[in-house]
Chains A and B, each alone.
Chain A
Amino acid sequence: MSHSLTRRRFITGAIAASVTATASGAAAVLARRHGLVPPDYGGLFGAGETLTYAAHRVLLYRQPLAREFRRDQISENFPAINTTFPEGDLYRQDVLSGFREWRLTVDGLVARPSELTLAQLKSYPSRTQITQHVCEQGWSAIAEWTGVPLSTVLNAVGILPEAKYVFFNCIDGWWDSLDMADAFHPQTLLAYAMNGRDLPIAHGAPVRLRVERQLGYKNLKYISSLTVTNTSKEWGKGQGAQGAENGYSWYAGI
């Protein structure tokens, strides 16, 4: 009896193992084909990052909007962390001139590489939204943001079909990237106003990114350029973000 049990167990186990292996292999191929693998899929925690990213891309397939709030819910106190005033004379001059010389460089896989002024960005149809900023540290605050949807700018410059990521460079040297699902999400803004006023310096003037379905650190401040690419490999160590190289997930939808 115990003999046949052992054999049956062995066969069942072997079948289960091969089914699991085949399913995982098929899942990996499908995930790659449908863009469900984040740039920081490698390493010890890569499996977790990939499962979360893939699950969210499926869950958010219909591009639902992040929660929006009433005006009376806006936080009195919205902390400003990391860079609160970029170093260097260039930024100081920009501030003094009201960012008249500031340009947003848009290049990479686009039909019309461009340099946009702040006035040009403000001339596009804007979107205003009251959302909650969730910091990875644990605090959160609500603010109203006004800006041009990133999709408007990307459509204006005409992105090429092979585009997969939008990379952002910041005045303070930080860089990060978004996939196309978040880049084209209606709430993803190049925001130039906060709570009805020009974006404060501490919050990223003249233009910061709002990507409402991810944690605070993806909402880059002091944007200076964006580059459309079809690969994450050519930036830094290829993990898609400076934050990812410091141990923070590239995808922060959590």
Chain B
Amino acid sequence: MSELAQVGVLPERNPVAVRSPRHSGIVRITHWVNFLVFLALLTSGVAILLAHPRLYWGETGAFGRPALIELPLPLNLDQSGWGRSLHFLAAWLCVLNGAVYLVYGMTSHHFKTHMLPDRAEIAFSPILKKISDAVHWRKPSEEQTTYNVLQRITYLTVVFALFPLMIVTGLAMSPAVTAAIPMIVEIFGGHQSARTIHFFVTNLLVLFLILHVAMVRLAGFWNRTRPMITGRGAGATESI
């Protein structure tokens, strides 16, 4: 597959390029697997959280001790059995799917080409302009052939900071994993701290999901979603 096609640069007069995938097969598959797995993790995570909707800082915390935050959620002790089983099954799928994506991203230069912003792009005003456009719900006017700087920074944060942090704080709550690798929980300041960070990073990921879908909608929902499913744009008349 030529670099041109992978980048998704689709000159209108080139019929071959028009039929070429805008997103590679691996990116499309891992994107949707990750989407489903994230929904499963989120649902089951809430089911687990309802068994004790209080957050603490440090090693320990329980009813009868002061909480850092008492979440305004109903206490429900009956959902954590399936919740836990689904959570860990989905977590395995998330990790395996993520591993496939990472290996692909590194070997195919996907990260280098599409995710790393140009040095020149990392400047205050263009980033601010992108944010301002989004806030004012201005449809991107330029033909988008690859990710803009704001997307790049956001995706890099999600892939290389938020998801890894979810996995590490998750493992930090395991009494077995922390026996083998005590540092994994010590760096967070204790078991309950890791649990609290796990919760807040979840919130950031949900926020990302909401903004991501909003931006896709702004740019044209089907024009952006179709290429992520079929790999192709809307057709020869579609310039993106």
Contacts and interface: CB of A to CB of B under 8 A. Distances in A.
Contacts of B90: 48
Contacts of A132: 59-60, 175, 191
Contacts, number: 119
B89 A48 contact: yes
B179 interface: yes
Contacts of B185: 67
B61 A48 contact: no
B85 interface: yes
Interface stretch (B45-53, B129-137, B148-156): B45-53
A116 interface: no
A254 B80 contact: no
Contacts of A67: 178-179, 182, 185
Nearest to B171: A254
Contacts of B179: 60, 64-67, 212-213
A45 interface: yes
B106 interface: no
A76 B60 CA distance: 10
Interface residues of A, number: 41
Contact of B175 (A44, A59, A253): A253
Main DSSP-derived SS at the B contact region: helix
Most B Cβ at <10 Å: residue of A69, A132, A139, A248? A139
Contacts of A66: 175, 178-179
Contact of A139 (B63, B88, B176): B63
Contact of B85 (A69, A77, A247): A247
B175 A48 contact: no
B186 to A, nearest CB: 9
Contact of A75 (B52, B54, B62, B84): B62
Interface stretch (A49-57, A119-127, A226-234): A49-57
Nearest to A5: B1
Nearest to B93: A48
B195 A214 contact: no
Contacts of B77: 137
Contacts of B64: 77, 79
A79 B80 CA distance: 18
Nearest to A214: B175
Most A Cβ at <10 Å: residue of B62, B85, B176? B176
A254 B175 contact: yes
B175 A60 contact: no
B135 to A, nearest CB: 37
A155 interface: no
Most B Cβ at <10 Å: residue of A134, A136, A140? A140
Contacts of A135: 52, 62
Given A59-B177, A214-B176, A138 B85 contact: no
Contact of A253 (B51, B61, B80, B174): B174
A60 to B, nearest CB: 6
A48 B84 CA distance: 10
B215 interface: no
A44 B65 CA distance: 37
Interface in B12-64: 48-49, 51-52, 54, 59-64
Nearest 10 CB-CB pairings of A with B: A48-B89, A253-B176, A138-B52, A247-B81, A45-B85, A139-B62, A137-B51, A77-B64, A213-B176, A137-B52
15 contacts: A45-B88, A47-B89, A66-B175, A67-B182, A77-B64, A79-B62, A134-B175, A138-B48, A138-B49, A139-B62, A212-B179, A215-B175, A247-B85, A254-B84, A254-B176
Interface of B: 48-49, 51-52, 54, 59-65, 77, 80-82, 84-86, 88-92, 173-180, 182, 185, 191-192, 195
